[in-house]
Copies of this chain bind each other. A is one copy, B any other.
Amino acid sequence: MAQKQENLSKNQKIVLDYIEKANQPLKAYSILFNVQKKGLKAPPQVYRALDKLIEMGKIHKIESRNSYIACQNSSCQLEKATAFSICESCDKVTEISNHSLSKYLSNIKDKNGMKFNRYNLEFFGLCKKCKV
């Protein structure tokens, strides 16, 4: 059975806490380095926690950056439908919460008869601060 969100394991809590405090995407090895004082000493411990947190929708992976960010969207349907804006200058990442966009994408039908059950969308550009 899928684990309930309230029941995070020890390592999962440690990793999630650290990611949530960051408010920006973090690399796995930077997480590892920073949670070593809490007892997570080796990569598999971090990657396992990351995998479970992703399954639960508590964090998302920014694929183009190999980094991990806390879900910023309380209505996020687990990991089924994710969209982000990424600044190519300062690397700021924001989770996009746009109902009409997610509705549009969730209703897309594939021409080749494929059944979609998940998507990930990444927009790239310059944030307000970096546009100047």
Chain A: residues with CB nearer than 8 A to chain B?
Answer: 63-64, 85, 87, 94, 96, 98, 101, 104-105, 108, 110-128, 131
Q: Is the CB of B131 within 8 A of A124?
A: no
Contacts of A110 in B (CB 8 A): 85, 96, 123, 125
Contacts of A131 in B (CB 8 A): 113-115
Contacts of A96 in B (CB 8 A): 110-111
Contacts of A123 in B (CB 8 A): 108, 110, 114, 116, 118-119
Q: Is the CB of A120 within 8 A of B121?
A: yes
Total copies of the chain: 2
Contacts of A64 in B (CB 8 A): 63, 120
Tell me which of A87, A112, A114, A122 has the highest count of chain B C-beta atoms within 10 A of its own C-beta. Answer: A114
Which residue of B94, B104, B108, B112 contacts A94 across the interface (Cβ within 8 Å)?
Answer: B112
Contacts of A85 in B (CB 8 A): 110, 112, 114, 116
